[in-house]
Amino acid sequence: MEQNTPPLSHLTESGEARMVDVSQKPIATRTAVASALVTTRPEVIDAIFAGDLPKGDVIGVARIAGIQAAKRTADLIPLCHPMTLEWVDISIEREGEQSLLIRATARTCARTGVEMEAMTAASVAALALYDMTKSADKGIVIGPIRLESKTGGKSGDYQRQGGG
């Protein structure tokens, strides 16, 4: 490791994985926004918004799946702190002719951030959307999935710059 590189917080001095001790950090309001792009054929997107697919309310199911996933993040991601979420929101909008943009927002008052909760929510909402629409198009592509912004905490605020 280079001299100016900070140590990895999830590793012990001997290189073993560990959970970070956040007990001494102050409680702060923290918000994170993540997104997932879902690409499919234009007629499938039309059917999603029209409610014309065999499995029913695709957008409603994807929203619920994303919210549930955010609440279960610590069960899915090793070493992730369990936390109480104050708010989770999932929005799904058309993005051009062939894509949907899922945006997941998570907020808490805690000692650690909610980036993983937002990322998990966006990911699982996209997977649920795939599951609900795969009968219409098995070639659906999910990605990128990425952090868009975060506020609160010692490392400060972050806002993704630019596109792609």
Which residues are catalytic, by number? 131
DSSP letter, residue 134: T
Closest C-alpha among 140, 5, 134, 132 to residue 62: 132
Closest C-alpha among 101, 97, 90 to residue 37: 101
DSSP string, 40-105: --HHHHHHHHHT-STT--HHHHHHHHHHHHHHTHHHHSTTPPP---SEEEEEEEEETTTEEEEEEE
DSSP element (H, E) containing 107? strand 99-110
Single-letter code of the amino acid located at 100: L
- The residues facing 30 across adjacent strands are 108
| Alpha carbon distances (Å) from 10 to 14, 35, 129 | 11, 25, 33
